[in-house]
């Protein structure tokens, strides 16, 4: 109800953006899929609360939507389909929702004009760490490509990617000011994820306050 009302206002141009609710008044839901490790989910919850200062609820685990399954290069789930489903099924009391999975997720890599990057066979189904639109209501993050035999490192990487994708949902673009800001472009590289700190630089912070 609240959601469709908000949409109507958006259409009418009365409310300029989804960021009209102050960040500390927002509520974010985490949707773990399948047997995603609870200790990881709990740490992500605490980390988002700390970064953005808003309330974060963890929902009961669900099966990952089978309609998102694809097997082009290898068995994966389409991240764009998952975030569409998350957004559609999100309870109206939440402002944003983050899906967590250990399965491989993918999207299509396109240029600024919307064309699939060449070679298309490589980029039409491209494995990713996470995906979230800017601004957006939903995002999804996978541990599949964050893989390391060090549990502590896996958790650090996971928390960074989750905060990064939620930052996009909250309207933040890739950061060019803060050297170690978590909103730096991961540029398809785990090295960048390891390089950044789990913090928003003052520039990014001021944009969501």
Using the rule CB under 5 A, is 141 a contact of Zn ion? no
Report the residue number, 3 or 109, with the smaller CB distance to Zn ion.
109
Span of 66-74, 109-117, 120-128, 167-175 interacting with Zn ion by CB under 5 A: 167-175
Strand ranges across the sheet with 138-142: 55-58, 27-32, 96-101, 138-142, 130-132
For residue 11, the minimal CB distance to Zn ion (Å) is 28
Rg (CA), the chain: 17
ω into residue 43 within 30 of 0, thus cis? no
Site string for Zn ion, 174-203 (x = CB under 5 A): -x--x--x-x-----------------x--
Q: How far apart are CA 128 and CA 139, in angstroms?
A: 12
Smallest gap from residue 90 Cβ to Zn ion (A): 21
Q: Return the C-alpha torsion angle 168, 173, 175, 181, nearest 10.
A: -10
Question: Among residues 57 and 197, whose Cβ is nearest to Zn ion?
Answer: 197
Q: In angstroms, rounded to a whole number, what is the distance separating the alpha carbons of residues 91 and 104?
A: 26
Instruction: State the nearest-atom distance from the C-beta of 7 to Zn ion, in Å.
Output: 25
Nearer to Zn ion, 7 or 180 (CB): 180
Take residue 129 and report the two structure tokens written for it: 């760490």
- Contact positions toward Zn ion, by CB under 5 A? 175, 178, 181, 183, 201, 204
């Amino acid at each position: 109800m609240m959601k469709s009302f908000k949409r109507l206002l958006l259409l009418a141009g009365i409310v300029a953006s989804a960021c009209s609710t102050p960040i500390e008044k927002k509520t974010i839901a985490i949707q773990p899929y399948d047997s995603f490790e609870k200790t990881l989910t709990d740490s992500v919850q605490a980390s988002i609360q700390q970064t953005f200062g808003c309330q974060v609820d963890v929902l009961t685990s669900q099966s990952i939507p089978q309609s998102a399954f694809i097997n082009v290069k290898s068995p994966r789930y389409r991240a764009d389909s998952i975030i569409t489903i998350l957004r559609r099924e999100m309870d109206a009391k939440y402002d944003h929702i983050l899906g967590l999975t250990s399965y491989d997720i993918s999207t299509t890599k396109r240029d600024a004009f919307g064309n699939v990057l060449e070679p298309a066979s490589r980029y039409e189904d491209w494995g990713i760490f996470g995906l979230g639109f800017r601004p957006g209501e939903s995002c999804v993050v996978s541990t599949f490509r964050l893989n390391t035999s060090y549990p502590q490192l896996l958790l650090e990487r996971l928390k960074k990617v989750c905060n990064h994708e939620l930052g996009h949902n909250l309207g933040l673009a890739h950061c060019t000011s803060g050297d170690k800001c978590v909103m730096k472009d991961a540029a398809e590289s785990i090295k960048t994820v390891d390089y950044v700190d789990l913090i928003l630089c003052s520039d990014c912070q001021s944009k969501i306050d």
